[in-house]
A = this chain, B = another copy of it.
Amino acid sequence: MDTHQQGFAKLVTMIDAIEVGMLTTADEAGHMRSRPMATQRAEDGCLWFFTSRDSPKVEEIRKDCQVNVSYSDPANQIFVSVSGLARTLRDEARIRELWTGQAQRWFPEGPEDPRIALLSVEITAAEYWDVDACKMRALLKTNASPSELEAATEHKALS
């Protein structure tokens, strides 16, 4: 494994038990909001979540795709910051692939429910709190930019 893969593997280990992260987005006025999101999958440098396509965050992400997902477990002093580029999309095969009993509670009509969207966060940087050193330490960092994400994903984006 290269350094990037090692960093990603360490990130996955740290957030696996926490599961729910707080996704922070900015609206047009720069006002930042966060809300809990259950992580469905972490793979290939991305985090995957389900969302409702009429949720305000879908519009916020369309206008500004830069987000943060923080994972906190205060009892065990685990704190992780994930910076990334978010997009929302509708990909029925992928929705079925990630479907779980938990998702079913949210969307009782099942994976075919047209309100369901996928929210992916392509990780550009991740850091964790080093308790002994009392500082954040890098887990990984990439050079992805918002414009590259747009070019790569336009065809599947939600309208």
Residues of B within 8 A of A116 (CB): none
Contact stretch, chosen from A30-38, A43-51, A93-101, A149-157: A30-38
State A126–B75 Cα separation when bound (angstroms): 23
- Establish whether residues B66 and A32, one from each chain, have CB atoms under 8 Å apart when the complex forms: yes
Main secondary structure of the interface of A (DSSP, over half): strand
A19 CB–B CB distance under 8 Å = yes
Could you mark each residue 28-70 of chain A with 1 if its beta carbon is under 8 Å from any beta carbon of chain B, else 0? 0011111110000000000000000000000000001011101
Identify the A interface with B (CB < 8 A): 18-20, 22, 24, 26, 30-36, 64, 66-68, 70-75, 79, 81, 83, 106, 124-125, 127, 129, 134, 136
What are 22 contact pairs spanning A and B, CB under 8 A?
A18-B74, A20-B74, A22-B70, A22-B72, A22-B81, A24-B24, A26-B30, A26-B32, A26-B66, A32-B32, A32-B66, A32-B68, A32-B83, A33-B68, A33-B81, A33-B136, A35-B79, A35-B136, A36-B72, A70-B72, A72-B72, A73-B74
